[in-house]
Structure 1
Amino acid sequence: MVAGRSNEARTVTVGTTSASTALTAAAGVFHEEDAGRTITGTGIPAAATIASVTSDTAAVLSAAATATGSPSVTLGRAQPQAYGFGGWSPETDAESETYSVAAVNAGTATPDRLTNTYTPVAQRARG
């Protein structure tokens, strides 16, 4: 989880349009970690989740809204996200988007340091 962002439930104001899965909000409301969170509130179908986050002002519902408006909604607790890969964990959100297994395998990006300095390399599982 990136510093300053909580995985706890939070209440935000969003814009909804009946029969649409699009959500809008003020700048900085949505974060990529919100994908998968439950969302409840007026005009939001039961058992809906955030299907994806398009930007910090836009997200996609898993089911179409049932009303048009700007309700206060509750985003449920975030599920733990696994970033990085065996032996490496990013320190920032930007770093988590910079490195990928494919980039490392191609030799175009390498982690700056290993997070597991206790297990000998020969004993580390390969992913």
Structure 2
Amino acid sequence: MNLALWIAAGILATVALAGGASKTFVPTEKLAAQPGGQWTEQAGTGAVRTLGILELLAAIGLILPAALDIAPIMVPVTATCWIVLMLGAMITHRRFGEYPFMALNFAYLLLAAFIAWGRFVAEPFAG
């Protein structure tokens, strides 16, 4: 179970890193032209950058606390925050009729729920 949780956290951290980097460093106009990026036109540059930074922090929070054994409780807390973020993403993509992106966000939500459950309940880090 521990290995599965580490793999899940690694996958989700990679997703968060990629999404966060693009939202933080790619111009909003370029994001808006991409599939699933239509929402960025209405969100504003500041909001998009803020979400990007939150995603970068999530990538860090899913791996480093446990890897460095410094506040490993932050891993399931970060996964729980990711669930909330994905609920918002699903609502946003629903507004624009971007159903494939809703499904992808739901998959990420399930992965985060697995990590949160696994690290809070099934196999928490020894503290």
TM-score grouping bracket, smaller chain normalisation: under 0.3
Greater Cα radius of gyration, structure 1 or 2 = 1
TM-score normalized by structure 1? 0.23
Structure (1/2) with the larger strand percentage: 1
TM normalised by structure 2 equals: 0.23
